[in-house]
Amino acid sequence: MRELAINLNPDTKEPLYEQIYSYIRSEIRKGQLLPGERLPSTRSLSAFLEVSRSTVDLAYEQLVSEGYLEAVPWKGYYVCRIEGLYSLSPERGPVRERRAAESSLWDYDLTPNGIDLEHFPYEIWRKLMRNVLLDDRKELFQLGDPKGEWELREAISRYLHQARGVLCRPEQVILGAGNDYLLMLLAAVLGTGRSVAMESPTYEHAYRIFRQLGFPLTAVPMDAQGMDVERLSASGADIAYVMPSHQYPLGVVMPIKRRLELLKWASEKADRYLIEDDYDSEFRYKGKPIPALQGSDRDGRVIYLGTFSKSIAPAIRISYLVLPQPLLSQTEEKLACFSSTVSRIDQMVLNQFIREGHFERHLNRMRRTYGRKHDIFLEKLKELSGVIEITGENAGVHLLAEFQNGMSEEEALQKARKERVRVYPLSEYRTESSGTGERREKAAVLLGYATLTEEELSEAAARLTRAWKQAVGSALH
């Protein structure tokens, strides 16, 4: 074990735990901290640095979440092996909602796709809309840049760099009315002859879009760290569609080792790409958000896909694509054939929403709101200990409940239905070509908590406890 000579600066805006986190991550990337090396305990490091122990705990937990450290019970924290996978050299240059059901069938719908609209900043949005139209800007009613308004693309590129670690310039950002349109645009850019590998279980809406567009598809099983890279290599795919920050639906956070393996896979052959869908990455309730995979890309192989549907509202219909520079330079002519699908007025409203700081404040408010719901729901579900195991917590707006007592998925759904609580089966996220070898074989359901109030979540959890504990009791007799 070695001491860490970290020079903390209490006068900067960067929190102390982030300074500790950044130092250790940098030392690991540079090879100064070697694989298997033990770090000081949180108690000893906090005493050495003269900071609170919780500050060191936050830094270590973030590093564990990203796969830089491994926490060994009763022994301590150890550096993970990541070298030889992909070069982390210094930077160079700049489910859609399911079928509608009669609302009378359900008292509580635990949809994993919804958002909390009670806290939408209606007054601010109305004010910005009036301000945008105040000066009779007739040009806003004309067709604009096919990629979207420059001001908004600049604001998004700055936000992505600051919040997600994405390395991009405004010209690399393309706006579209939802991910559907952007995936169709990608089909025109890349051609549909390339085989696309999807995680399984997968985000089924993207799977259906790719299939409708005519891409050859293959399903690659997930393990505890994300898409299995050995199986990806064996699949013969040219493109891998991944959700490394919070995979939907399993909720897996991909560690740095697996991210580097994917980047290495992409760099081994020409014209291989990773499509990074940064699904609900803004919402993390323990530590800070996991940096985007794109920020570690040095060869221009990551196509980054994001949306404001989760962070603001689905009806905003503004998503964004960040094309790697080599790919963008090859496809400018094709992109010029498309018109922007997003209203210029809506774009300018969102631009002001971001630039005036409203977006950041809204995100912070929603993190607190979803964090409270997350904690309350988890606490109430503890009554089902031994019946279900919860995974995918501390991020996103849904949980995955895996049954430990042999209960089938259909039985779980029926019991919940009798209590008028709607839950969502994991089996619906498996593709036709999934095959075998996936990491989950037990029955599991998705439990979303965004759309319900804290009181409604408590009651829904009580009903699920009643339903599934009764099922256990009946099975025993």
**Model pLDDT, residue 331:** 78
Q: What is the pLDDT of residues 9-63, one digit of tens each?
A: 888 878 888 899 999 999 998 888 988 899 999 999 988 898 888 889 888 988 9
163 lies in the same domain as 193: yes
Which of helix, strand or coil describes residue 48?
A: helix
**Model pLDDT, residue 437:** 45
Question: Residues 270-299: what's their mean pLDDT?
Answer: 90
**Model pLDDT, residue 31:** 86
Mean pLDDT of the chain: 88
**Model pLDDT, residue 101:** 47
324 lies in the same domain as 462: no
Pairing of strands 239-242, 69-72: unpaired
**Model pLDDT, residue 111:** 93
**Model pLDDT, residue 439:** 46
Question: Percentage of the chain with pLDDT > 70?
Answer: 91
Nearest C-alpha neighbor of 174 from the set 134, 212, 144, 130: 144
Spell out the residues 6+ positions from residue 399 whose beta carbon is closer than 8 angstroms to its own.
251, 377, 378, 381, 390, 391, 392, 393, 446, 447, 449
Is residue 257 included in any domain, yes or no?
yes
Is residue 3 included in any domain, yes or no?
no
Question: Residues 445-469: what's their mean pLDDT?
Answer: 95
Is the pLDDT at 454 greater than 90? The verdict is yes
446, 409 Cβ separation under 8 angstroms: no
Is the pLDDT at 382 greater than 90? The verdict is yes
Cis peptide before 249 (omega within 30 of 0): yes
Query: What letter does residue 395 receive in the DSSP assignment?
Result: B
With cut-offs at 50, 70 and 90, classify the pLDDT of residue 99.
very low
Question: Residues 269-275: what's their mean pLDDT?
Answer: 94
Nearest C-alpha neighbor of 34 from the set 87, 82, 74: 82
What is the residue-wise DSSP string for 238-275?
A: SEEEE--SS-TTT-PPPPHHHHHHHHHHHHTSTT-EEE
159 lies in the same domain as 273: yes
Is residue 398 included in any domain, yes or no?
yes
352, 128 Cβ separation under 8 angstroms: yes
**Rounded CA separation 220/230 (Å):** 9
Give the number of C-alpha atoms closer than 13 A to the C-alpha of residue 4, restricted to the C-beta side: 28
Question: Residues 79-99: what's their mean pLDDT?
Answer: 57
129 lies in the same domain as 37: no
Question: Residues 436-450: what's their mean pLDDT?
Answer: 76
Phi-psi region of 38 (alpha: psi -120 to 50; beta: other; left: phi over 0): beta
Which of 358, 386, 408 finishes a domain?
Answer: 358
CATH number, domain of 53, equals 1.10.10.10
Handedness of CA 106, 111, 206, 264 (dihedral sign): negative
More confident residue, 62 or 239: 239
107 lies in the same domain as 210: no
Is residue 467 included in any domain, yes or no?
yes
**Rounded CA separation 411/365 (Å):** 38
Is residue 95 included in any domain, yes or no?
no
Is the pLDDT at 433 greater than 60? The verdict is no
**Rounded CA separation 324/174 (Å):** 11
Least confident of 90-99, 355-364, 453-462: 90-99
Question: Structural domain tally of the chain?
Answer: 3
Which tokens hold the place of 236?
A: 């013969």
464, 417 Cβ separation under 8 angstroms: no
Q: What is the pLDDT of residues 391-409, one digit of tens each?
A: 988 889 999 999 998 899 9
Distance from first CA to last CA of the chain, Å, rounded?
A: 55
**Model pLDDT, residue 2:** 65
Q: Phi, psi (5° rounding) for residue 301?
A: -115, -5
332 lies in the same domain as 405: no
Question: Residues 96-122: what's their mean pLDDT?
Answer: 75
404, 386 Cβ separation under 8 angstroms: yes
Question: Residues 130-137: what's their mean pLDDT?
Answer: 81
Is residue 9 included in any domain, yes or no?
no
298 lies in the same domain as 394: no
Q: Phi, psi (5° rounding) for residue 90?
A: -55, 150
135 lies in the same domain as 253: yes
242 lies in the same domain as 351: yes
Which of 309, 325, 358 finishes a domain?
Answer: 358
Domain extent for 55: 16-79
With cut-offs at 50, 70 and 90, classify the pLDDT of residue 431.
confident
Nearest C-alpha neighbor of 276 from the set 300, 247, 239, 241: 241
147 lies in the same domain as 211: yes
Which of 340, 358, 376 finishes a domain?
Answer: 358
With cut-offs at 50, 70 and 90, classify the pLDDT of residue 335.
confident
**Model pLDDT, residue 102:** 45
Query: What letter does residue 58 receive in the DSSP assignment?
Result: H
**Rounded CA separation 339/377 (Å):** 44
**Rounded CA separation 399/446 (Å):** 6
198 lies in the same domain as 326: yes
Which tokens hold the place of 38?
A: 């033990």
Is residue 405 included in any domain, yes or no?
yes
With cut-offs at 50, 70 and 90, classify the pLDDT of residue 94.
very low
Spell out the residues 6+ positions from residue 215 whose beta carbon is closer than 8 angstroms to its own.
187, 192, 194, 195, 196
Q: Phi, psi (5° rounding) for residue 222?
A: -95, 150
Give the distance, in angstroms, between the CA of residue 182 and the centroid of all CA atoms in the same chain.
Answer: 18
H helix runs in 72-134, sequence order:
122-133
**Model pLDDT, residue 89:** 56
**Model pLDDT, residue 399:** 95
Is residue 2 included in any domain, yes or no?
no
Q: At residue 93, what is the residue type?
A: G
More confident residue, 429 or 439: 429
CA distances from 289 to 169, 306, 367 (A): 21, 15, 11
Q: What is the pLDDT of residues 405-421, one digit of tens each?
A: 889 999 999 999 999 99
CATH number, domain of 242, equals 3.40.640.10
**Model pLDDT, residue 93:** 45
277 lies in the same domain as 149: yes
**Model pLDDT, residue 24:** 93
Q: Phi, psi (5° rounding) for residue 167?
A: -100, 105
